[in-house]
Amino acid sequence: MTCHRLSPSSGSVPGTLSCMDTTHSDTADRSLRHWSEAGRRTMDAFYELATQDYRELVAAHDWAGALRDQQHDGRVRLLDVACGSGKFPSALLAAGLADDLDGLSVEVDLLDPSAFSIAEARAVLTAPFVPADELEIGLEELDAGRAPYDLAWATHALYAVPPARLADGLARMHAALRPGGLGVVAHATSASHYLAVYEAYRASHAPEATPYITAEQVADGLRAAGAEVTVRDVRYRTGTDDPAVAEGFLQRCLFDDAISLEDMAAPGPNGQELAAYLAGCRDGEVWTFTHHVHLITWRAD
């Protein structure tokens, strides 16, 4: 908690203390409000395009091999950090993971502060995935007593973690692995669409909003926790020529349902940044978004 003394220009009684919980973030609050039944419209619009994120991730790595390497006695204990609506396991299943694992059982603990997300993810888990415990918490609240996992992954998942809690959360994820266990974080870089569009939005529309976490911050946090990370680049584009899909996708990228596509393309109260960024994504009716993702892996000692 940090506190500062209010100035006469603040509109409050001068000299009184204003306290702000710096471990909490407005972006985290907006994320949690959207990962709910009320947020289903933009979630569905978002995944019209973002399902491709998970197809690219599935193609970028030998996931069946990684799961086989981590198994003991025919089972893998997996922690799915910020499980969301289970799009990554869904993409693995669609790519034939069950056939590739030949009877191996992957027991999944689902971690997410949103009960809605946990229920959505649980509903898509079929063999070889077996849903196990539900941890309705943020990564930064993960108890060391949950260890050890053979594998912990967070796939396009940590954007809204409060920045002040990121290092602690990553250290907990690292500590949750058994010796030799595998950690994986797939996350967009600062140059990638998800980060670039949010930075542009913050600049022109919401300067008080807490920034999203970048892949570079994740890798730094893991190194600080003692993990020797390997970072691989995954690059691709997504797009649509349907304005309704583009609007819903972008609203979800911003966690702002109130801003129309027209408003996004116009100057904001604080500048042109969002309009300028989106002008670069648009050619007539066709929208194209450029993604630069880091696939970060490490093994626990």
Ligand X SMILES: C[S@@+](CC[C@H](N)C(=O)[O-])C[C@H]1O[C@@H](n2cnc3c(N)ncnc32)[C@H](O)[C@@H]1O
Query: Which member of 25, 30, 35, 63 binds ligand X (CB under 6 A)?
Result: 35
What is the residue whose two structure tokens read 């985290």? 28
Q: Are 290 and 192 spatial neighbours (Cβ–Cβ below 8 Å)?
A: yes
Q: Are 64 and 71 spatial neighbours (Cβ–Cβ below 8 Å)?
A: no
CA angle 181, 186, 188 (to 5 degrees): 155
- Helix 87-94, helix 40-59: angle, nearest 10: 50
Choose between 86 and 221: whose C-beta lies nearer to ligand X.
Answer: 86
251/255 Cα distance (integer angstroms): 6
Q: Are 115 and 109 spatial neighbours (Cβ–Cβ below 8 Å)?
A: no
By CB under 6 A, residue 87 contacts ligand X: yes
By CB under 6 A, residue 187 contacts ligand X: no
Q: Are 42 and 73 spatial neighbours (Cβ–Cβ below 8 Å)?
A: no
Query: Which member of 131, 138, 163, 181 binds ligand X (CB under 6 A)?
Result: 138
Q: Which residues contact 287 (CB under 8 A, 6 or more apart)?
A: 239, 240, 241, 246, 281
By CB under 6 A, residue 39 contacts ligand X: no
Query: Which member of 25, 42, 85, 297 binds ligand X (CB under 6 A)?
Result: 85
Query: Which member of 155, 189, 214, 240 binds ligand X (CB under 6 A)?
Result: 155
Tell me the window of 102-110, 111-119, 222-230, 261-269 that interacts with ligand X (CB under 6 A).
Answer: 111-119
> What is the smallest separation between the CB atom of 58 and ligand X, expressed in angstroms?
11
Query: Which member of 70, 117, 189, 240 binds ligand X (CB under 6 A)?
Result: 117
Provide the residue type at 34 as one letter.
Answer: H
By CB under 6 A, residue 84 contacts ligand X: yes
DSSP 8-state class, residue 157: -
By CB under 6 A, residue 83 contacts ligand X: yes
> What is the smallest separation between the CB atom of 45 and ligand X, expressed in angstroms?
14
| Count of beta carbons in the 10 Å neighbourhood of residue 109 | 20
Residue nearest to ligand X (CB): 84
Tell me the window of 157-165, 243-251, 252-260, 277-285 that interacts with ligand X (CB under 6 A).
Answer: 157-165
By CB under 6 A, residue 160 contacts ligand X: yes
Site residues, ligand X (CB under 6 A): 28, 31-32, 35, 82-88, 112-114, 117, 138-140, 155-157, 160-161
